[in-house]
Structures are given as structure tokens and as C-alpha cells.
Structure 1
Amino acid sequence: MRILIVSNMYPSKEKSFAGIFVKNQYLTLKSLLPKDSFIDVFYMERKFTTKIGSVFKYVKTFFKFFPFLFRRYDIIHLHYFFPLIYLVNLYKIFHKETKVVVTYHGSDLTKKVNSKNQYQLKKLASKVDCHISVGKALGDILVEKLDVQSDLILPVGVNDKVFFYEKTKKVYDFVYVGSFVHRKGVDLIIEAVKRMNSSISICFIGQGDYLHEIEALVNKYSNVFLYEGLTQQEIQKILVKSKFLLLPTRNEGFPTSTIESMYCGVPVLVSDIPQTKEQVFEGENGFIIPVDNSLALLEKMEFLAKIDVIQYDEMVEKTRTYFREISLTGVCLKLIEIYEGLNSENN
């Protein structure tokens, strides 16, 4: 069985967080597949660019894919539906027997599918052999946007060999892990930091649009810390030293940073959207605040910074029990089962 993973998200020097879960899946699948199977990966290079630069980046990607048209794969697994579904569809013109699996992650549906392209994308979606949504709420959006049902709800998986609980001294009250972009609500955290009590410590881990603003906070406040380009192992070491993870996001598929945090025994503070409400149970493994509200974020942060030690320790124990079933290995074994099932249809 020959498998090709296609993704427009994959880690790079500039964007070390971009699609790390795709890389993790690829490497884990490679280690788990039978010896007579082969897996390859094609991805778009991630860089910080202008709008014109983004167009050039996609054009370059299409040309780079050209040699793959002459290689035979039994399964193509596409991460992020739009826009690389066009490449996959082109491949299918030459290799009709190849089965296509798509994992939908969130913004590939919520932001990229619109009234201008919806009709065409529905047609392309109808040719997909297996639809995977990373969360239940996203599965509903898939029906709404592309008129197809999820065959499976399957998150990307958490590497429990990397993200695990360690009892250690807490250094940070809050930590944010991910891209510094508007969609993730990083601007709300910045606004809250400017107003908050100086005794509350917060750590930012990542890269992106708000980097310079966060650097200014670090230079101004002794309680704000910044780390760029960390490995997942290094992130784990900071997570276990943090009381709470922050994710005041405006839009998600099924966020992975929250689940990684829970594997480390760190409760989360998230915004009130359907995707995070699938993960967070108020007062047990985290807390939920209104969307797009920096004042509500600040008030909850100030409250949680003073949380009772016994109550917090009880939360930590509960947090560690959530989502153990979606380890990276478990998810990849399920994917192999899907690949083999689809491949058997051709034999």
C-alpha cells in the first residue's frame, strides 16, 4: 500500500508551529505501517508573506507537485481541504483508482469556503472517499458548507510520549502556545496584560503577527515572558510549570494545544465557541469566557491567579483524565485501518 499525505501546513523555520500535528502523524504512521507499505508527504512551505507573496507561494506549490502526478499512490490523505483539493483532484484525473481521504481542520471550511467557490467545492467534496472532521462541531459545519457527512470524527492526536504530567513548581500563572494571530485571540491577551495586576505572570510561546507587540510587553513588564522556536519537548517543560493554558480563540476546528495541555495536567481557559465547548467542562478541566471580550478574559485571569490550592490540585487530577483515548498512536492506528479498508476495495 502506497500512501501520500498532502498538506498546506507543515513546520518550517519561520513557522515552527504550523501543522506540527501533520508531521507527527506522518512520522508515527511511517513507524506503524507494515514493511511492505510506503508513505510519503507533500507539503506547502510555510512563510510569513504578503497577499501577493501568498499567491506566488501557492503557484510554486502547484509546480512542485507536478512530479507526483507520475507516481502511483493507493491512498492520498489531504489535510486541509482548500485549496490543495485542486491538486488532489488533478492527480485523480490520471489515477482514478486512488482513494482520497480528507481531514478537515476548521478554517479550511469556515474561512475558505464561501458563496463564490461553494458550488465547485461541493462537487470536489462529493468525490472524496472518506471525510474526517477533527471535532463534532466541525462535522456540522462540513454538512452546512459542503453538503457531505463526516465518516469519522477523529482529532489529530496527542503524542503522549512528549506531552505528559510532571509534578513540579509552577513558574507561570498562564501560558499561551501557538501562532500569534488575530484568529487565536492573541490581541485580547495583549490587551489584558496591559491592564492586569503586575504580580500575575504570563508566558507566550510561538511566532506570528503580534510578535513585536509581545516583545514590547516583555521589555516593559517583568512578569511577561516570550519563547520562540521551541521544540515540543521544550514546550512540555514550560506547560508543566504553568497553572493554566490560555486560548481566547475566535475560531477553531478542534484545538490541539488545549488537549496537549490537559495531557500535562494543565487546565485551560478558553472562549465560548462550539469547538472548545467539546473539550472543556467548566470547573473540571478548565473555564469558558465570552468570545472577543478582553475584559472578561482579564477578570477570569485575575480570579484564577488566586485560585485555592486544594481546588486547583483537584482540577489538575481531573484534567489529566480527559481525552486519553486520542493519543497520537491510537489515532494513527485508526487511520491505517481506514487506509487498508479503502485499499481493499481496489483489490
Structure 2
Amino acid sequence: MYPSKEKSFAGIFVKNQYEALKEIMLEDEVDIFFMKRKFTSKAGSVIKYIITFFRFFKILFKRYDIIHLHYFYPLIYIVYLYKLFYPNTKVIVTYHGSDVTKKINENNINKLKKISSIVDYHIPVGKALSEILEQKLNIKPNKILPVGVNDKVFFYEDKPKIFDFIYVGSFVSRKGVDVIIKALKNLDKSISVCFVGQGDYLKEIQELQKLNSNIKLYVGLSQDKIQHLIVQSKFLLLPTRNEGFPTSTIESMYCGVPVLVSDIPQTKEQVEDGVNGFIVPVDDVLALQNKMKELANINDEDYKVLVTNTLTFYKDISLTSVCNELIIIYRFLTKND
């Protein structure tokens, strides 16, 4: 998982974590290996994985004290291969969500249970994901640790609100983007919505733009530009169907922007309904539509209370805090080597 020219936002949290660790661990060597995203079709995805596996062979010529894998499946297979050559290398896995909830199924679960035995330290990014990990792989997580919010980028600014809602992320079904599109078709065109990202529903959003000048679309933005748009929005939208521990919601909270999310365990872990955001049922277009209409017209006093509440949530998962926790784990695993 790593950003690319094609998908500048995909895996940005891994890039942030890697760069922060390099900065903190000045006396240690920190390298990174990631898949290069040059193909976006289904056939291209297969090619991408094949090329990745061949590129990994050069890594076999160097022994690392620790391999820290982000996203369990399918790259656990090449880590398994590496472990055959270097059995004393410690393996840490950070589980992000769909690598557990979607990628592990009845066809591969027994094989993955066996392969997961090479992992020395298990880190799910959220409590709900931790429980799914135990159910599927019979793994007792060592620590729950989100990827961390880059608070040098995502922070509160008192800016005029030009958007009622903002969506940041991939335009895919898993994120519920289709639900937003359906809701917007039946909402008053005075409600302003900003989309940031790219993906399967890009054309549908572009079609909406043609019909409604209050819908804006941005593709391939840097994180600082995304922050600039978030602080100019009243609410962040995420009617998702499946998550690990969504990062866009926490980044929004660091900016003092409340969130509107769907009713799944992973978002309920983050959002207290009516306190730092609002929750609607999964796949319920009408409920989302009605809540968006209500929140677009929220009065200033009620909104100020929401903002104040939002800024008090999750201040302990900044990127620096998370990286310091990781360093403690690294030291613990290698203390007797």
C-alpha cells in the first residue's frame, strides 16, 4: 500500500509512517518495499502482483531485524518466503480492514491460519477489526494501533464554510459513494458537496457536476490541499460499508470538522452520535438524504458545540505518537538479538 501518480491518496498513511520513522530512527536503517501502481484494470492488478513478487527477490539478499507488513493479504506470502531464509527476523503485521474482512474467506482461511504463525506481533488498527481478526484467524492481537494522523497537516483552522459536506477517498462501492450519489439526486441543489479522490464512480460524479454547480470534484490533491478543503466544510461524509479504522474521519476530527457516517462497528468506534458526528443506517439512501438536509441547515450554536466536541476526540493518535509506540515495539522484539 503506497501512493502513486495514478492513486495519490492510496496508502498515504503508510508513506507518512515510513517517513516519520526514518526521521525519528536516525541511528537505524529503515527501508521500504511497496507495490508500484501502474495498472488500474483487473488484468493490470494481476500483472502488478506478479511484478511485485519478482521485485521482492532482491530483498532476499539482505537480512533485516524486522519486517513490518502493512495489509496482511496477499503480501504475507512473500514475507513467509523471506522468513524461510531468515527465521530470526521478526515479523509485524498491521491489519487495515479489507485485508481481513474481505480477503480472508473459506477458500484460503486454513492456509492463512498456518501462514500467520510466522507473525511475531499483530496490530489491528481498531477494536472492531481486532475482534474480526480473532474470529477469522484465531489470533489474539498484541496491540490495537491506528496508523496515525499527521497533525502537522491536519489541524483546526477557523475558516469560512464553503461546502456543507466533503467526501475524501476512493470512489468505490465499499465506501458507499453510490449511496451519496443517489442521495444527491433527490436533494436540493443548494446543498454544496465536495468530492476529493478518484475511482469507479468518477464518471457518475462528473455527470452530477454537470447538473449541479454546487458539486465540486478534485482529483489527485496533496494532503495539505485536502486539509484546506476539509476546514472549509461543515461535515465529512463516509457512508461506508466496510472499514478497518477509517483515517479520513479522524483527520477530519483533527481539523475540527464533525462527520456523518454509516452504522458499522468500525465507525461507531469513532463516532458518538450527536456529539462528534452523526450515524445513519448502512445503505439507507433516504436516511442519509434526510440527515444531510438537516445538517446543511444546522444553526451556528449547535454547530459550534459539535466542533468543540470533535476537537477533543482522538488527540492521542497523532503520527508522532503512533511512531513512538512502534519504536517501543521494535525495541521489545529485538532486545535479546
Place the TM-score, normalised by the shorter chain, in its bin: over 0.9
Aligned residue in 2 for 1:102: 93
Question: 1:207-257 deviations in whole A, cap 9, x for unaligned?
Answer: 111111111111211110001111100001100000000000000000000
Match of 1:208 among 179, 183, 199: 199
Q: Given that residues 158 and 327 in structure 1 are in contact (C-alpha distance below 8 angstroms), is that contact kept between their aligned partners in structure 2?
A: yes
1:267-295 deviation digits (Å, cap 9, x = unpaired): 00000000000000011100000001111
Superimposed CA distance per residue, residues 133-187 of structure 1 (whole angstroms, 9 cap, x where no aligned partner): 1000000000111111110000000011100000010000000000000000000
Q: Distance in 2 between matches of 1:237 and 1:34?
A: 31
- The amino acid that maps onto 1:121 is L
Find the partner of 1:11 among 3, 27, 32. Answer: 3
Contact 2:245 2:266 in 1 (8 A): yes
For 2:176 and 2:293, how far apart are their aligned partners in 1? 18
The counterpart of 1:281, out of the listed 272, 285, 304, is 272
What TM-score comes out, normalization by structure 1 length? 0.96
Match of 2:208 in 1: 217
Q: Distance in 1 between matches of 2:40 and 2:191?
A: 34
* Aligned equivalents of 1:27, 1:222: Cα separation in 2: 39
What are the Cα deviations for residues 283-333 of structure 1, in whole angstroms up to 9, with x where unaligned?
A: 110000000111111000000011111000111011011000000000000
The answer to whether the Cα contact below 8 Å between 1:18 and 1:46 also exists between their aligned partners in 2 is no
The 5-angstrom pairing of residues 158-307 of structure 1 reads 158-307=149-298
1: distance between equivalents of 2:257 and 2:99?
29
Percentage of identical aligned residues: 64
Show the counterpart of 2:119. Answer: 128
Q: CA deviation at 1:49?
A: 2.7
Deviation at 1:51, TM superposition (A): 2.4
Letter in 1 for 2:134: V
Residues 240, 266 of structure 1: 8 Å contact kept: yes
SS in 2 for 1:115: coil
Matched-pair contact (CA < 8 Å) for 1:154–1:331: yes
Inter-partner Cα distance in structure 2 for 1:334 and 1:97: 22
Letter in 2 for 1:99: K
Matched, 1:69 2:60: yes
Q: Does 1:87 align with 2:81?
A: no
- Aligned residue in 1 for 2:331: 340
Tell me the residue number matched to 1:28.
20
Any idea what SS the aligned residue of 2:197 has? strand
- Name the Cα RMSD after superposition: 0.8
Give the match's secondary structure for 1:195.
Answer: coil
How far, CA to CA, are the matches of 1:229 and 1:52 in structure 2?
Answer: 23
d(CA) in 2 for partners of 1:64 and 1:48? 16
Q: CA deviation at 1:76?
A: 0.3
Instruction: Tell whether 2:31 aligns with 1:45.
Output: no
| Residue pair 2:231, 2:257 contacting (<8 A) in 1 also | yes
For 2:44 and 2:189, the matched residues in 1 are separated by: 40
Measured in 2, the distance between the counterparts of 1:31 and 1:68 equals 22
> Unaligned regions of 5+ residues in structure 1, if any?
1-8
Alpha-carbon distance in structure 2 between the residues aligned to 1:170 and 1:95: 54
Partner of 1:56: 47
Distance of 1:18 and 1:236 partners within structure 2: 16
SS where residue 58 of structure 1 aligns?
Answer: helix
Deviates more, 1:213-222 or 1:157-166: 213-222
Q: In structure 2, the residue corresponding to 1:77 is in which secondary structure?
A: strand
Between the aligned partners of 2:291 and 2:67, the Cα distance in structure 1 is: 44
Tell me the CA shift for residue 48 of structure 1.
Answer: 5.1
Aligned residues: 337
Instruction: Work out the CA distance in 2 between the residues paired with 1:17 and 1:171.
Output: 23
